Amino acid sequence: MIELDPRTREQLAEVRELGRTYMRPMGLESDRTGDPPPADHPFYLLCSRQGGLVSRVLGENERDEDGAALTWKPLRALLTAEESAYWDRGVALSLPGPGLGGAALRSLATPEQRARFLAPFADHSRARWGAMAMTEPGAGSDVARIQTRARRDGSDWRLDGAKMFCSNGARAEWVVVWATVDPALGREGHRAFVVERGTAGFELLKIEHKMGSRGYETASFALDGVRVPAENLLGGESKYRTREGFRGAMATFNLTRPLHAAQGVGMGRAALDHALDFVRREYPSQGRRRQRALEKLSAIRRELETARLLCLHAVWLARRNQPNTLEASQAKLFAPPVVFRAIAAALEIAGEAGVRNDRHLEKLYRDVKILDIGEGTQQVQRLVIARQLLGLPREA
C-alpha cells in the first residue's frame, strides 16, 4: 500500500478542484472550436500564481529546509498525470511548466544547465512553458532516423532541419531540439540542444488541427541556419561519447512513458464513471441489462487497476534510480488498449446518449488514439520489451 505524503495529497486535491472548475470546461470548449486555449488564458496565470502546478510536481521550484532544490518526484508526477487527465488530458498537457523538455534536462543536462533553464519556472509572475522537439516528417517512432543536422560553426552550433508534433512548442521559452552531427553515425550522432525563443531561423510553420486532444497546441517548426551557443548543448560534448545522446533520449522516454500510460488510466476512469452514472440513472433497479453492464464495467475496473500498478512499478524504480526500461514500456504497451476498451464499453452502455458530439464520452473516444502513438508506438514497445527479455542491446 502506498502512503502519500501530505504535500502530494494536497496537490491531488488541488488538481481535482482545478479539473472540475477549469480543465473539463476548457477541454470541451477546445474540442468544440478546434483550437487550444490561448497562452494568456486566465487559468494558466492562476496556475502560475499558485506556485506553478507542473513545476511543483516535478520539484523545479521546491526547496528543503536548508534551501536546497528538491529532486523530481516520480510518484507525485504520475498521480498528478492520472488525476489531471481524468478531467482533460489535452488541457493537462497544456499546463505551464518545462514539459518534455524538463525530462530531457533531467536526463542529460549539467547542473549549471538545469539551473539556468529551469530557474525561470520559479518566477510565478506569468505562465511559462518548455518543450521538446524530436519527431520529424521522416522520423517518428524510429528516432534513430533523425535528419535535422547539427554542425559546429566556430564557437556555436548550426541547426538545419524540420520538426513536427512539438507539444506547446509555439508558446515555449525554449525547446530541446534533437539533431544529428552525421546521419551515417546513426544513434552515435545524436545531440540535444536548447533553442531559445526568438532565435533567428527557428520558424513556426503551423499549429496542427487534431482529431482529438485539442486542448494543447502541437507545433511544426523549420530550422534554417539556427545558431546555438555551445553552452546550449545539453551535457556538453563529452556526454555524447559511445551513444550517450541516444541513451539520453531513451532515458527521457523511460521517465515519461509511465506518465503517458497513467494519463490513459485517468481517461479510462472518466469513462468508467460516466458509464456508472448512466447505469445508476437509467437502470435504478436490478435487472438483466443492469447486471450485464455492471459485469462489463467491473472487468474494466480490474484492467485499469492493473494498468495503474504497472505504471506505479515503473516509477517506483525511477524513484530509486534503478533501470526501468522494461517496466516503462510494459506500462505504455498495456494501458492504451485497456483505456480504449473502457471508453468503448462506456459508449456501448450509454448508446445514442454517448455518441453525441456534445458529450464527453464521444470526445474521449477521439482523444484516446494518441495513447497508442505518443511516446513510441505500441510496435516500438513490443520491440523494446522483446530486446530486454532477450538481453539484447536496446535499439528503439
Question: C-alpha cell of 301?
Answer: 475496473
The residues annotated as belonging to the active site are 375
What is the per-residue DSSP string for 143-175? GGG---EEEEETTEEEEEEEEEEEETGGG-SEE
- Report helix, strand or coil for 321: coil
Q: Which of 138, 140, 119 is nearest to 130 (CA)?
A: 119
Separation in Å, CA 169 to CA 33, 61, 177, 205: 20, 22, 11, 11
Cα–Cα dist 340/349, whole Å: 14
**58 contact partners, CB below 8 Å, separation of at least 6:** 72, 73, 77, 97, 98, 102
Each as own residue / partner, the long-range contacts of residues 306-309 (CB below 8 Å, 24 or more positions apart, any chain) are 306/334, 306/338, 307/261, 307/264, 307/265, 307/268, 307/331, 307/334, 307/335, 307/338, 307/339, 308/82, 308/262, 308/265
Angle ∠(104,110,116) on CA atoms, nearest 5: 85
